[in-house]
């Protein structure tokens, strides 16, 4: 099941619960959540898989970072340049196989977004 049918507040909790204990995953989910844009877009929410924990039965949700970037790159998730930068940084934090070119993405961010990125990086550091 994808995340389109889940209310934003509940989806936020499920993303953070799934990332709990993994600083980089918590940072990635936190950046997307705190940015406040993506969880309100169905095109992005389709890249979220919702399910339940096999050990506790607790509802959890995870973002497919590859799918999110693929949606961005194929035009299915149109975004402003600053939104693209946030998504690319979050994806790089959330998936160690996804590189980000900081020189390219940081120049597109205003003070608020730079602060969100700095917070995410600090969180990822544990």
Q: What is the pLDDT of residues 57-105, one digit of tens each?
A: 899 999 999 999 999 999 999 999 999 999 999 999 999 999 999 999 9
Q: Taking 80 as the threshold, does the pLDDT of residue 3 lie above it?
A: no
> CA torsion, points 74, 111, 22, 77, in degrees to nearest 10?
-10
Q: Is the Cα torsion angle 78, 63, 88, 85 positive or negative in sign?
A: positive
Q: Taking 90 as the threshold, does the pLDDT of residue 108 lie above it?
A: no
Residue 61, classed as helix, strand or coil, is strand
Q: Are 81 and 87 in contact (CB under 8 A)?
A: no
User: Which of 90, 102, 72, 75 shows the shortest CA–CA distance to 32?
Assistant: 90
Compare 15 and 56 and report the one with higher pLDDT.
15
């Amino acid at each position: 099941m994808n995340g389109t049918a889940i209310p934003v507040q509940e989806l936020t909790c499920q993303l953070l619960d799934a990332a709990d204990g993994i600083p980089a995953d918590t940072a990635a989910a936190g950046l997307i959540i705190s940015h406040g844009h993506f969880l309100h877009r169905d095109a992005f929410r389709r890249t979220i898989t919702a399910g339940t924990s096999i050990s506790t039965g607790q509802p959890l949700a995870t973002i497919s970072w590859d799918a999110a970037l693929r949606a961005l790159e194929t035009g299915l998730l149109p975004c402003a340049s600053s939104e693209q930068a946030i998504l690319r940084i979050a994806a790089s934090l959330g998936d160690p196989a996804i590189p980000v070119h900081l020189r390219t993405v940081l120049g597109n961010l205003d003070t608020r977004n730079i602060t969100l990125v700095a917070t995410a990086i600090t969180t990822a550091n544990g």
